[in-house]
Amino acid sequence: MSTTGGSRFLKQPLASGVAGAGSDKRQTMQSRDILLREIQRFNSGSLLENQMFLVVVSAADIKRYDDIIRIFGYKFAEAMLTIRLEDLKSMLPDIDVYQVGFWSFGFIYDSTGMGDHKVFLDSLVEKLSSPVICRGIPIPIKAGVGVCDLKKDLGSSEDLLQSTFLAGQVSGTSANEWVSCADEKDDHRRAFSLISDVFSALTTPDEFELNYQARIELKTRGCTGVEALLRWRHPTLGVVSPGEFIPLVEMTGFIKPLTGWVLAKALAQTSAWHKRGYLLNVSVNISAKNLEEADFITLLQEKLSYYGLAPHYLELEFTESSLFFDQVAARNKLQALRALGVNIATDDFGTGHDSFTGLAANPANIIKIDRAHIATFSEGSRTQTIVKSMVTMAHDLGMIVVAEGVETGETLELLAKLSCDYAQGYFMCRPMLVDEFDAWYVKTYTDAAAI
């Protein structure tokens, strides 16, 4: 394939020694170090009269890449990456490409006197968004392309490389677009800000906070527990919902410290409630990526014992899509957690295409019926029949049923009639900061006011 008409690359290769796809960690680090030195060279003023750009290409987004490894294995994924690297190099005949991460590559591009560099970047994205044909199998993967203008003073070489890498990750989530570190587009800029600010937010007190939403037992109408829901009070963007930032954080390595933070905070709060005599359970949302951490269970046990909580007070919620049970390792981990006494819930039940077949091998002991079913639920409706079947089936399998998104008293009563076990939703209370929750709890339960 051809490069963009008229684009010119550095005629003198900046450095030799290109690491190939699948090269080991040491080689990748060496390759990355060479690129960092080159960035440093331009950053410190050399050749600044030229129009120099740093470009980082992520061959596939992390989730997609994980799926490929899971389905086809490492060797196949490596072969696929090698093909994509060759595609990239064929577009860049005169310049060196460096491996900067397992699935990402960086290079410096000189567009001096060649007009609009955007044309070249568009063609790069187009080429790298076509399916890779590996061992005769077409794999649809979409590359992410991040770009940084080396003329702009955007920090140290490490910062530049990191920012360009993150811009590539943001690009991977949007339709056929490359993303610049100094992107003017609102949605890109916002995603980019969020993704790059996670780490500092984790070390800044009060940027992340937890809201708690009550779970009500339908038989007694008592509040038996809470779900911890994360909020981010971003210094410039205001309160950001987890629905927006969790998928972005999952693309970085930061989901581990973030979930660790949520677990510690939620367990500390639950322990404080227990000391006051409120024996509440706590549910925490966990990402599928967390299950891949080798020390997830050990760290969880350490936290439980640090806060003096028995495991049965904790529930971990996983969405259906993360509980695909051909993943033997994930299933074994969930079984180990159950054996410890930790409760496991399948969140958003009834939204995945595999809800029922997945259940047979699902180690979860709780299902949370998604609010999409509950919202359209009324006496005599077809949804009522569906919800009724879900409750019966879950009970037959020995599982506990929670209905989410209960917004009216009528829905609550219907759920009680169907023998659903627990309910959560705005009708009882919205998610609240701890002080508000405490006031609600005391008012609702010590004033004996029925819900």
> Cβ neighbours of residue 97 under 8 Å, at least 6 residues apart?
18, 85, 88, 89, 105, 106, 107
Residue carrying the six token digits 């295409």: 353
Considering the complex, state which of residue 102 and residue 440 has its C-beta at the smaller distance from ligand C2E: 440
Closest CA to 196 of 179, 176, 178: 179
Residue of 161, 181, 229, 282 that binds ligand C2E (CB under 6 A): 229
CA–CA separation, 231 and 240 (whole Å) = 6
DSSP state for residue 443 in the 8-state scheme: I
Considering the complex, state which of residue 36 and residue 280 has its C-beta at the smaller distance from ligand C2E: 280
**Contact between 405 and ligand C2E (CB under 6 A)?**
yes
Considering the complex, state which of residue 80 and residue 228 has its C-beta at the smaller distance from ligand C2E: 228
**Contact between 426 and ligand C2E (CB under 6 A)?**
yes
> Cβ neighbours of residue 12 under 8 Å, at least 6 residues apart?
none
Beta bridge partners of 99: 105
Contact of residue 15 among ligand C2E, Ca ion, none (CB under 5-8 Å per partner type): none
Tokens of 372: 């999409």
Residue of 77, 100, 262, 342 that binds ligand C2E (CB under 6 A): 262
Contact of residue 405 among Ca ion, ligand C2E, none (CB under 5-8 Å per partner type): ligand C2E
**Contact between 287 and ligand C2E (CB under 6 A)?**
yes
**Contact between 144 and ligand C2E (CB under 6 A)?**
no
**Contact between 347 and Ca ion (CB under 5 A)?**
yes
Contact of residue 96 among ligand C2E, Ca ion, none (CB under 5-8 Å per partner type): none
Q: Which of these segments, 63-71, 140-148, 333-341, 403-411, binds ligand C2E (CB under 6 A)?
A: 403-411
**Contact between 285 and Ca ion (CB under 5 A)?**
yes
**Contact between 421 and Ca ion (CB under 5 A)?**
no
**Contact between 317 and Ca ion (CB under 5 A)?**
yes
Please classify residue 396 by burial: count the beta carbons closer than 10 Å to its beta carbon, then call 0-12 exposed, 13-18 middle and 19+ buried.
exposed
| Distances, alpha carbon 21 to alpha carbons 28, 70, 121, 376, in Å | 9, 18, 22, 50
**Contact between 356 and ligand C2E (CB under 6 A)?**
no
**Contact between 148 and ligand C2E (CB under 6 A)?**
no
Considering the complex, state which of residue 1 and residue 239 has its C-beta at the smaller distance from ligand C2E: 239
**Contact between 250 and Ca ion (CB under 5 A)?**
no
Helix then strand count (H, E) for the chain reads: 15, 16
Q: Which of these segments, 28-36, 58-66, 270-278, 346-354, binds Ca ion (CB under 5 A)?
A: 346-354
Least distance in angstroms from the C-beta of 352 to Ca ion: 12
**Contact between 260 and ligand C2E (CB under 6 A)?**
no
Q: Please report, as residue ranges, which positions from 376 to 405 form the binding site for Ca ion (by CB under 5 A).
A: 404
CA–CA separation, 390 and 348 (whole Å) = 13
Considering the complex, state which of residue 87 and residue 250 has its C-beta at the smaller distance from ligand C2E: 250
**Contact between 363 and ligand C2E (CB under 6 A)?**
no
Q: What is the DSSP string of 162-227?
A: HHHHHHHHHHHTSTT-EEETT---HHHHHHHHHHHHHHHHHHSTTSEEEEEEEEEETTT--EEEEE
Q: Outline where DSSP puts E strands in 287-342.
A: 314-319
Cite the DSSP H helix spans in 1-112: 25-43, 62-72, 74-91
Three-state DSSP at 147 gives strand
**Contact between 243 and ligand C2E (CB under 6 A)?**
yes
Write out the residues near Ca ion by the rule CB under 5 A: 285, 317, 347-348, 404
Write out the residues near ligand C2E by the rule CB under 6 A: 213, 229-230, 241-243, 246, 262, 285, 287, 317, 347-348, 371, 404-407, 424-426, 431
